[in-house]
Amino acid sequence: MTNQSRNQNGRSAFDLEERTARFGEAVIRFSRRIPQNTVTRPIITQLVRAGTSIGANYCEADDAESKPDFRHKIGICKKESRETMYWFRMVAVAVPELREDAKVFWKEAKELNLIFAAIVRSSRVRHSTVEH
């Protein structure tokens, strides 16, 4: 699910906004494949909320009004990606026939989580070096 686009020089450029949007879209499509019952309904709801909010919060971070606002919103992206990992784990247990697909989504959510964790770390380092 990685996404690359071309920058002005024709090189591949990483586009996190597009990647998170495509991830959210894929989460929606995947959730439609989950059979609905008393166990899966809350899982589906939570999975869609968490999986789609990653991209929404990243868009908000991109338009942040200040550096602290940016750090806060990226932190939310990190939390939502972690929560998405959790819900994909629950899908794998609740619907064993979707386990392998859920694992692929879990890995993408993990990659996003690691990306946002790195952004949080680097923004804290930059923030602390500016203050000193």
Written as six digits, the tokens of 50 are 């968490």
The pLDDT value given to residue 11: 40
- pLDDT surpasses 60 at 8: no
Query: Structural domain of residue 24, as residue ranges?
Result: 4-131
How far apart are alpha carbons 112 and 19 in whole angstroms? 9
What would you report as the CA-atom Rg of the chain, rounded to the nearest whole angstrom? 16
Q: How many residues does the chain have?
A: 132
CATH code at 24? Answer: 1.20.1440.60
Written as six digits, the tokens of 87 are 């819900």
Written as six digits, the tokens of 56 are 């929404």
What's this model's pTM, rounded to 2 decimal places? Answer: 0.84
Contacts of 90 (CB under 8 A, 6+ apart): 43, 47
Tell me how many domains the chain contains.
1
The pLDDT value given to residue 124: 76
